[in-house]
């Protein structure tokens, strides 16, 4: 799951140039539209933890053979894609690589040097300008109110010509930066309020002309402690340059199903450079792969099912955004997609059973939710209710590959077992595990390996994905009015072509926490 902006190799998406090749999976024409009914409950039993685990083991082996990771633009990602392709081809699919080209920030400098003292790692905030070569050198200034959100927070502290050091909290990073610059600061460092590096965003270009960076809580407090003991000098050096890179998604779709009503499912295949990425997102990729393998054994179903393994998600949802942006330029192509289901992290060790809150019954969404999304969510929650499995809403926040679909009016939902959020007492009562720690304590680390995946979570989520796939492969009438076999009529009020809540591609694409 995307949740940070930079890595050792590269950072945020800067500009996106969609690949010129066809974006669709195998040509969607003349599919068999036979009316044999695929039974969702029976199909759910065919997608087993054992089957998913075989794929996870192979993804772990791939990471082990390729510098310990499967990140975008690496040999580990290429090997992961080849494994998915070979497995699909053996099952009878034709696979398609969907290339995309994008601009990438490559980090040249990311440090804060304390004199006297040492050098600390920082992360340049998204939309913050580069420092000059060699950095900005100035004395440190710490506000009376550590968060530094308002002019009053600085009191009588001398800020002109200083590098401001403030705590995360109370207001957006952009407000802290604008306040510091207005007070005369020549740089700003925001330290985290939890034990990890702070990866942040100013939200838009041009807000300030001073370098702005995030840093970890312990390092930030060490700098603050040094300032309280006397005047210290800081050098803030944060610089990047842009490079054009190319990666790809892997697509496949069933040979059976009506071509004008496509059910699409996706999971990102890449991980972060820090580790193997077996929960994030080998888990979603492996479940999706096993569902595809088992679905290929079904001779007939009513709707086409299209599968996508997205590339460069961890660099900013790049592959899925490129795909949807390209389809948006082709009249009618997005309207063929009845709904999209996303599976990103479905094996977290301290898991919850989370369903994207498309009906906004718990969390307001940051975009207008397309009509049909609540009905897509209901397929998943209905399955869980039917088997007596507790579940909770999880934010429809745009932190994964459904983002481009919903901003372009395609209904969506999906499943999630948790990332860096802290498990509550109520969640522990429902699902077991440990309250007070993260759903995935090894999120985006070298320890996100096979031992980091919960068999119990996979055993709950894999059948749910299978059930939803089979159910929607037969009938999407609740979502878009397209009825399944043996039902009168084919189109209802929500027939393809009548999207609601459409937004221009690229809107609402900020992923990072802004405060």
Give whole-number Cα distances, 245 to 10, 23, 248, 324, in Å: 11, 18, 10, 19
The percent helix, strand, coil of the chain (3-state, each to 5) is: 30, 25, 45
- 290 is a catalytic site residue: no
Return phi, psi of residue 414, to 5°: 165, -175
Distance in angstroms between the alpha carbons of the first and the last residue of the chain: 19
- Cα–Cα dist 409/412, whole Å: 9
Phi-psi region of 193 (alpha: psi -120 to 50; beta: other; left: phi over 0): alpha
- Cα–Cα dist 281/267, whole Å: 7
Return phi, psi of residue 480, to 5°: -135, 10
- Residues with Cβ < 8 Å from 8, sequence gap 6 or more? 107, 273
Catalytic option among 313, 314, 326, 512: 313
- Cα–Cα dist 292/274, whole Å: 29
DSSP bridge partners of 96:
251
**H-run or E-run covering 431:** helix 425-431
Q: Strands 95-115 and 119-121: what pairing?
A: antiparallel
- Cα–Cα dist 125/28, whole Å: 43
Active site residues: 313
């Amino acid at each position: 799951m995307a949740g940070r902006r930079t890595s050792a190799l590269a950072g945020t998406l800067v500009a996106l140039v969609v690949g010129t090749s066809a974006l669709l999976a195998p040509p969607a024409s003349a599919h068999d539209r036979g009316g044999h009914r695929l039974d969702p409950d029976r199909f759910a039993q065919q997608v087993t933890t054992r089957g998913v685990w075989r794929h996870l083991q192979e993804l772990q082996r791939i990471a082990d053979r390729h510098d310990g990771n499967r990140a975008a633009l690496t040999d580990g990602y290429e090997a992961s894609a080849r494994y998915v392709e070979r497995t699909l081809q053996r099952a009878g699919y034709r696979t398609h690589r969907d290339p995309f080209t994008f601009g990438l920030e490559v980090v040249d400098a990311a440090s804060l040097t304390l004199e006297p003292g040492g050098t600390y790692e920082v992360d340049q905030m998204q939309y913050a300008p580069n420092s000059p070569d060699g950095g900005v050198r100035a004395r440190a200034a710490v506000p009376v109110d550590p968060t530094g959100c308002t002019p009053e927070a600085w009191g009588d502290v001398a800020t002109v010509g200083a590098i401001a050091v403030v705590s995360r909290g109370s207001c957006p990073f952009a407000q802290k930066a604008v306040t510091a610059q207005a007070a005369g600061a020549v740089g700003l460092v925001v330290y985290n309020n939890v034990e990890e590096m702070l990866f942040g965003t100013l939200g838009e270009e041009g807000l300030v002309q001073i370098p702005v960076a995030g840093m970890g809580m312990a390092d930030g407090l060490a700098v603050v402690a040094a300032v309280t003991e006397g005047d210290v000098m800081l050098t803030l050096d944060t610089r990047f340059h842009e490079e054009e890179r190319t990666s790809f998604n892997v697509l496949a779709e069933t040979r059976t199903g009506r071509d004008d009503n496509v059910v699409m499912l996706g999971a990102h295949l890449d991980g972060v450079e820090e580790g193997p990425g077996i929960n994030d997102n080998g888990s979603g990729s492996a479940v999706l792969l096993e569902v595809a393998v088992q679905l290929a054994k079904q001779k007939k179903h009513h709707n086409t099912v299209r599968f996508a393994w997205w590339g460069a998600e961890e660099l900013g949802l790049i592959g899925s955004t490129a795909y949807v942006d390209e389809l948006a330029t082709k009249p009618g192509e997005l309207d063929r997609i009845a709904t999209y289901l996303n599976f990103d992290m479905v094996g977290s060790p301290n898991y919850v059973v989370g369903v994207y809150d498309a009906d906004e019954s718990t969390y307001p969404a940051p975009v207008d939710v397309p009509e049909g999304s609540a009905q897509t969510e209901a397929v998943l929650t209905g399955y869980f209710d039917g088997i007596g499995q507790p579940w909770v809403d999880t934010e429809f926040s745009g932190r994964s590959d459904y983002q481009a679909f919903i901003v372009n009016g395609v209904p969506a939902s999906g499943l999630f077992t948790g990332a860096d959020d802290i498990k509550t007492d109520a969640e522990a009562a429902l699902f077991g595990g440990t309250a007070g720690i993260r759903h995935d304590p090894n999120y985006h680390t070298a320890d996100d390996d096979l031992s980091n995946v919960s068999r119990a979570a996979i055993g709950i989520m894999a059948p749910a994905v299978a059930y939803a796939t089979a159910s929607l492969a037969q009938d999407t009438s609740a979502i878009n009015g397209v009825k399944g076999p043996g039902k009168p009529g084919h189109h209802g009020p929500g027939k393809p072509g009548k999207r609601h809540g459409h937004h221009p591609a690229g809107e609402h694409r900020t992923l990072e926490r802004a405060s």
